[in-house]
Homo-oligomer: A and B are copies of this chain.
Amino acid sequence: MNREPNNPIRLGMVGGGADAFIGAVHRTAARLDGRFTLVAGALSSTPEKALRSAEAIGLSRAYGSWQEMLDQERQLPEDERIEAVSIVTPNHVHYEVALAFVQAGFHVITDKPMVTSLTEADSLVAAVEDAGVVFGVTYNYTGYPMVRQAREMVRRGELGEVRKVIAEYHQGWLASDIEAEGVKQAEWRTDPKRSGVAGAMGDIGSHAENLISTVTGLGLAEVAADLTTFVPGRALDDDASVLLRFEGGARGALLVSQVEVGEENGLSLRIYGTQGGLVWRQEQPNRLEFKSNDAPLKVFTRGGPGLHEAAVDAARIPPGHPEGFHEAFANVYAGVADAIRTGRGDHPTVHDGRRGVAFIETVVASSRSAAKWTPFPTALT
């Protein structure tokens, strides 16, 4: 992959102003490989703050609202106006903005969960197919090179037939009522109006779902979920455990929490087939363990020997020189850039986004049900 091409993609951004952690991450990811150049933005929901945020980061074309950005950019000459837009807002805003830009023919990158209902998701899928634009969802964790190595190993049958999948995502930062103390990151995530029907499950469980689907390729058949709210007064789940059954007979479990004190960002995936098993942990992302009953444990390392091409391509520097979160995030951006420039790219699509929304809805329904198993909508698997 040529990481420093001479024609970067002109990017606009919606949301991601001054205080937003994830805005800076998106900009860093876009900038890291020189594949994008950020030229325009409506960085906040209030015009004044949007313009102030744009000024602070030296953004050339600052807009007071996304509608304004859309209107004005489309009137610029083709070789000046933005080619793509990143949507980096609370969840409830994604749909409207994404739809408008897609329909106007811009490529779109949006944060996850893509939208807040399956209805919206279906509508967006249709719009993307109509418009023929590139649509990426920043399920950034599947951008890690060793996740791509895992995906390739499963695809090639190196694990045999997959029997068991365990995905986990452990955090502790929401263990107390910090949304009442003015922590903005906590405020919108715990507010059903801005987050949607799920809390922890939507915020981080959705990443785990994408990790499972991307790596195993298995279709989900049914789930048995227990969503819990531990912090008094909170409206959405902050902890969840889910039993999973996949089409074809594989079984699994998904453990998610944002109230496990001391846990930082403990996303992990374990997959066991008839012939081999894989273990990957996000907090040590440059390693991938391969286990079997017949040979010593093998540890693949990013950039090291024995990797498939998709994993080799996703690394920038030699083994032992740690890459991390930013590079994985940049790999999603790079995949979108490839798709825009060449028609092919390795990145989560609008279909991944739609399946993620269906997953959240199904898990929430299961948690409310007295029946053990709630089926996953079959059209999506």
Contact = CB atoms under 8 A, between A and B. Distances in A.
Interface of A: 2-8, 21, 24-25, 27-28, 31-34, 55-58, 163-164, 166, 171-173, 175-176, 224, 226, 228, 230, 239, 241, 243, 245, 251-253, 255, 257, 259-266, 270, 272-277, 282-286, 290-301, 303-306, 316-327, 369-373
A55 B58 CA distance: 26
Given A272-B257, A304-B264, A326 B320 contact: no
B319 A325 contact: no
A273 B230 CA distance: 11
Count of identical protomers in the assembly: 4
A224 B241 CA distance: 11
A53 to B, nearest CB: 10
27 contacts: A3-B24, A6-B57, A7-B58, A8-B58, A27-B34, A34-B58, A164-B259, A171-B320, A172-B272, A224-B243, A241-B252, A253-B253, A259-B272, A261-B272, A262-B272, A264-B304, A282-B320, A284-B284, A295-B298, A295-B306, A296-B298, A316-B326, A321-B324, A322-B325, A323-B324, A324-B327, A370-B373
A320 to B, nearest CB: 3
A227 to B, nearest CB: 10
A185 to B, nearest CB: 9
Contact of A299 (B265, B292, B297): B297
Given A296-B300, A296-B301, A324-B327, A5 B261 contact: no
Nearest to A278: B262
A34 B34 contact: no
B34 A265 contact: no
A290 B372 CA distance: 34
Residue of A3, A21, A164 with most partner-chain B CB within 10 A: A164
B239 A164 contact: yes
A31 B34 CA distance: 8
The 8 closest A-B pairs by CB, nearest first: A262-B291, A264-B320, A265-B320, A6-B58, A322-B324, A297-B299, A321-B325, A260-B272
A260 B283 contact: no
B319 A265 contact: yes
A120 to B, nearest CB: 28
Contact of A21 (B230, B285, B299, B318): B318
Contacts of A325: 317, 321-323
A224 B369 CA distance: 13
A2 B56 CA distance: 9
Nearest to A25: B317
A319 B264 contact: yes
